[in-house]
Amino acid sequence: MGFFLKKSITMSQRTQFENTCQQLVGKTLGKVEYEEIAYDQSNQITPAQPYYTTRLANVHSLDYAVWLHTTQQDKIEITWDASFYPYGIGVKINQAPSTNDSQKWDVSAHQLWKDCLHGTIQQVKLIWEQVSGNSYPQTLIITFANEQQILIGAAQFLNSHDQKVFGMSDNLIVTNDVALAKTINMISQI
């Protein structure tokens, strides 16, 4: 476990990350893509066979990133990363992609996202968790002007039959259902 420990973040680092996330407010969502790491050529995932769906219709699970493309031409990459503690949420705006060994799917028309498409982001909230005395961003909650919400957390189901997700994971869980997010242990409060 010592390998994963990072020194405590400063209030300045936390504030800087919060400020980066707040830059999403006022942006209008034009397109959503999921990005999955292609680990090797034999495991290539084709657009006809995405693997982000789960047994729960309103929950997606993906290994790497959600890309929000705004009508203002911004590209927002939301990933799992180890900036604060392995693994939490990372947010990058208009930066080069973090990986080249991946495949993307346009999920803009999917039921989970359709009520958010062309909506303006009204609020962004981070849920911070504590582990080993360190604070890290576990879940990002994006609220649109029409009051629809998207929750993106660094978590995963360890097995397909699991009822709850486990945090601090190199995986993202995405949902638009706050009650379901609580049920599967993605969030405990908002």
Instruction: Give the span between the Cα atoms of 126 and 25, in whole angstroms.
Output: 13
Edge to edge, the sheet with strand 29-37 lists 88-93, 75-81, 64-70, 29-37, 102-106
pLDDT tens string for the chain (190 positions)? Answer: 344 555 567 889 999 999 999 999 999 999 999 998 876 556 555 545 678 999 999 999 999 999 999 999 999 999 999 888 889 999 999 998 877 778 899 999 999 999 999 999 999 999 999 888 888 999 999 999 999 999 999 999 998 889 999 999 999 999 999 999 999 999 986 6
